[in-house]
A and B are shown apart, each in its own frame.
Chain A
Amino acid sequence: MNMILPTASISATPNGTTRPQVRIVIVGHVDHGKSTLVGRLLHETGSLPDGKLEMLKAVSARRGMPFEWSFLLDALQTERDQGITIDTTQIRFRTRSRDVVLIDAPGHAEFLRNMITGASQADGAVLIIDALEGVRSQTRRHGYLLHLLGVKQVAVVVNKMDRVDFSADRFKEISDEISAHLIGLGVTPTAVVPISARDGDGVAEHTPRIGWYKGPTVVEALDALEPAPQLAELPLRLPVQAIYKFDDRRIVAGRIESGSLKAGDEIVIMPTGKIAKIKTVESWPVTPVNGPQGAGRSVGITLDRELFLERGDIIGHSGQSPRDTRRIRARIFWLHDKPLTTGEQILIRLGTKESRATVVAIEKAIDPGALSNEENTAIARNHVGEIDISLAQPVATDPYTDNPRTGRLVIEVNGRIAGGGLVLSVDAGRPAVPIDIVPVESALRPDERSARYHHNGAVIWLTGLPGSGKSTLARALERRLFSNGGSPILLDGDTFRAGLNSDLGFSPQDRTENIRRLAEVATHLARNGHIAIVAAVSPSTADRAAARRIADSAFREVYVATPAEVCETRDPKGHYAKARSGGLPSFTGITNDYQPPTGNELTIDTSNRSVSDATDAIERMLATTGILFDELTDLAANI
């Protein structure tokens, strides 16, 4: 065949010749002859193992059935007994120009999940149609799913032409109908081939019986399907799989889904928008790796600075990063017995990220096989639809039209995959990182600062009820650290609400944003060697966890656990009195919405100890957790 092949997908086979490999799925309505076509293809291309044909004939005879090509692939006993394919399977053969991995997928509606499992791995597809029966529900459904799975190259095969006396008119009728359907989905068939899989016409040879047909045979049509698309030209996307600390290296591991990276690149970590440089690209047995690494590689990188990142984050290049969002619109297929409904809580997986989510709206739900009417409240099993989802955490993603790898998601129910689809659009609240922002690094090194202050940078987070003594403790600690030559800075929640956070109220969303801003400012100070002392009620466990993620290893949480009744009698700002009289509807002190921390570094009850005693306790904690240096605490103990 005369074709131009992309160099990146040419594979070296063991004997040193280079042949591209393509993965092709065979789909179509049940009993239209998928497994028979596969069997015939293997036979025609000389790919069957010795003795296999004889074994199959014996198996057929034992069952008192005519010889079945499908027995080759229907390996499960129940499949042979019932004469249907239940689960997808893969088998290999060679054409003149390539190695083909054929994926046989079941046509029965009950096993749609297995069809999807097979088809999702394919570079191209063969859609098979029975010439007698014509286009049926699974034909249409599979066509639609190929589009949703991102399989764009589809060759159509009209099988069992022997049953319609090799009629050119019947062939044209079916060819027109299916072409119109596929083109409507944005898929143009690469070929429509009339065949008889059972007899062999049109599979590898043109036979006189289909003399009127001048197009390619099935083998030729397979030869024309292209290998996987090139992703190296797209912007870098490296979803983080894990962070390994097996030795003194902190390696960020993942597979490059698109683009390429190399040591020295400036990267941005989404959805947080943190910026760093790639220090090294690690490998084994030889490390580090020089030069760029492209899409498809599983890599490990180290960064030039210690910052918090986690599984599910996506690394991109500055200025070309994915978007961060909590709202996504997606077109999905649904495989679960129970229909997906509006308001439902689901688990979303986007790349390596998982997030709880709520289905906000459902639109255009249809049965892609029946072309039935649209529904707008639920998506039934084996149906498709568009959904709006709201995510519990910000995620990084792309619309699938921008990036086919990061623009797709799956939905899990009870720990089992229940659906999946494409990200149509991303409702980004704000642009992730403005393109023209280039962060400037400090001229000073951390050790220069710590040598002067005798401490490392830290975020000391004082949480507790209003009136528990946070501000008093914070001020005492500030004075103590400053007296010892340190650089403490007080960040009081109320003070920030008067300025930086004056646009925020007391709704859960605004409280979350309030805490995020406090944590970001505090972390910036800590990175520059200061001790940021944050005094904020911060009632939500999730918000404090977010603050800890932002500040990472610099975070020290102190729970000021003064009993509520003591806090109310103190009432330094008069808030309890005002709230009791109805003047402060969402005041944490009396609404019982304070969630006490677990896993905090220190707990202090100020109802039974002095301010100076409590300050000592915080200082000791800072010394034992590596913030204050030893000689300083010795000094402090003598004051």
Chain B
Amino acid sequence: MHLLDNESAAAGTRSAALRSASSVPGIPANQAPPSMDHLDELEAQSIYILREAFARLKKLALLWSLGKDSNVMIWLARKAFFGRVPFPALHVDTGKKFPEMYAFRDRFGKEWDLDLRVEPCPPIDSVDPTLPPAARSAARKTEGLKLALNKFGFDGLIAGIRRDEEATRAKERVFSPRGLEGEWDVRDQPPEFWDHFNASPPQGAHLRIHPILHWTEADIWAYTKRESIPIIPLYLAKDGKRYRSLGDQDITNPVASTASSIDEILDELESTKIPERAGRALDHETEDAFERLRVAGYL
């Protein structure tokens, strides 16, 4: 949140007191609130969404993938609930993340006082072997998610997807209903307008809640910098390469980059025309690979 510096805050109080002394009782003094910048607006909207989810669903969990987006989401949840995340942080673990990611999870799970639940994915042998390798990995993660859902009976999963990441995600709702098997019915999404959300999943089904759907990759970095949110160092360039997006080790590739600080990442994003998920093998196996995965319940 925006805090005035000490001097101007004190001056503001004094002038407000002067004005209110001469004004009609009960009518607030006409002191202008500080204007909101783009990040303030994004933050306020995300907090609103998180609070709506917490008010309207019974059993929520936040999907923590350890990446930059879900770290911002946890930060927003702490803001929304005044320092405490009042629902579990669920990490559906493929077992194939980078060591830096596990170290990050173990450290900040404690530091942020999260109710961390780590749930493993089933063995790869149990997943359809006819799928291309990356899609098969993703399908395995979807299975892990389903197992965790059945185990805990969550009716809402908060997920850090963004519209600008990928074209089918751009068509998502903020509160997105899922079928009994976790599937996404893209042909029949309910209307959602004026920040009124469809928050009544049928018995046994769940909702995906997307509090940062309206953020961009650059927004995430600018906010991470402004709020000093910790990041995994793999995002910063080393030997001419960095990761723009972090997934499983075997299906995620770094991109060529010299950006070794968040400021340099932001400069790089200003000029790049390479999509964020270029390093994710998953998105490129077939034309509609990603859509099919998402319909089946992938994030």
Contacts and interface: CB of A to CB of B under 8 A. Distances in A.
Contacts of B132: none
Contacts of B31: 262, 291-292
B26 A292 contact: no
A91 B170 contact: yes
A289 interface: yes
Contacts of A266: 26
B191 interface: yes
A410 B82 CA distance: 30
A249 B176 CA distance: 33
A75 B134 CA distance: 20
Given A75-B170, A120-B194, A416-B200, A246 B40 contact: no
Contacts of A410: 193-194, 196
Interface string A38-57: 00000000001110000000
Interface string A59-78: 10010000000000101111
Given A15-B266, A75-B167, A286 B3 contact: yes
A561 B163 CA distance: 59
A8 B33 CA distance: 10
B98 interface: no
A499 interface: no
A408 B194 contact: yes
Contacts of A75: 167-168, 170-171, 291
Contacts of B45: 298
B12 A290 contact: yes
Nearest to A99: B38
Given A87-B186, A284-B79, A415-B198, A14 B218 contact: yes
A417 B12 contact: no
B202 to A, nearest CB: 8
B273 interface: yes
Nearest to A47: B273
A363 B170 CA distance: 38
Contact of B36 (A241, A289, A297): A297
A283 B202 CA distance: 35
A251 interface: yes
A417 B198 CA distance: 6
B92 to A, nearest CB: 25
B191 A114 contact: yes
A184 interface: no
Nearest to A112: B191
B151 to A, nearest CB: 25
A292 B28 CA distance: 10
Contacts of B21: none
B118 interface: no
Interface in B20-77: 25-28, 31-41, 43-45, 47-48, 51-52, 54-55
Nearest to B42: A11
A78 B187 contact: yes
Contacts of A249: 82
Contacts of B261: none
Interface stretch (A311-319, A534-542, A573-581): A311-319
A86 B186 CA distance: 9
B192 interface: yes
Nearest to A17: B270
Given A8-B35, A11-B37, A283-B1, A317 B198 contact: no
B287 interface: yes
Contacts of B3: 286, 289-290
Among A14, A21, A50, A241, chain B packs the most CB atoms within 10 A around the CB of A14
Nearest to A300: B82
Given A12-B38, A117-B193, A241 B82 contact: no
A116 B25 CA distance: 43
Contacts of A49: 273-275
A77 B33 contact: no
Nearest to B47: A298
A92 B164 CA distance: 8
Contacts of A320: 27
Contacts of B54: 242
Interface residues of A, number: 82
B291 A294 contact: no
A291 B12 contact: yes
A14 B13 contact: no
Interface in A261-302: 261-262, 265-266, 282-287, 289-298, 300
B26 A438 contact: yes
A130 to B, nearest CB: 25
Contact of A89 (B167, B218, B221): B167
Contact of B170 (A89, A232, A285): A89
A113 B191 contact: yes
A511 interface: no
Given A241-B55, A242-B55, A298 B48 contact: yes
B115 interface: no
Contacts of B273: 48-50
A417 B192 contact: yes
A349 interface: yes
A90 B171 CA distance: 7
A11 B38 contact: yes
Interface string A128-165: 00000000000000000000010000000000000000
A12 B28 contact: no
A416 B273 CA distance: 39
Given A284-B79, A296-B41, A116 B26 contact: no
B268 to A, nearest CB: 10
Interface in A1-23: 7-8, 10-15, 21
B239 interface: no
B216 interface: yes
Contacts of A116: 191, 193
A415 B27 contact: no
Interface in B130-170: 163-164, 167-168, 170
Select the residue from A114, A232, A266, A317 with max chain B CB neighbours within 10 A. A114
B83 A284 contact: yes
Nearest to B190: A416
B84 interface: yes
Interface string B245-276: 00000000000000000000011011001110
29 contacts: A11-B41, A12-B38, A14-B266, A14-B267, A48-B273, A49-B274, A77-B292, A78-B186, A91-B170, A116-B191, A120-B193, A232-B33, A241-B51, A246-B83, A262-B31, A265-B28, A289-B1, A291-B33, A292-B34, A294-B34, A296-B40, A297-B40, A300-B82, A311-B55, A319-B27, A417-B193, A417-B198, A420-B193, A420-B194
User: Sorted from nearest, which 6 A-B pairs have the closest CB atoms?
Assistant: A11-B38, A294-B33, A75-B167, A415-B200, A120-B193, A14-B266
Interface of B: 1-4, 9, 12-13, 16, 25-28, 31-41, 43-45, 47-48, 51-52, 54-55, 78-84, 86, 163-164, 167-168, 170-171, 173, 186-187, 189-194, 196, 198, 200, 202, 216, 218, 221-222, 266-267, 269-270, 273-275, 287-288, 291-292
Given A116-B191, A260-B32, A291-B33, 16 more contacts: A11-B41, A12-B38, A15-B267, A89-B167, A114-B189, A117-B173, A117-B189, A117-B192, A117-B193, A120-B193, A284-B82, A285-B83, A292-B32, A294-B32, A294-B34, A317-B27
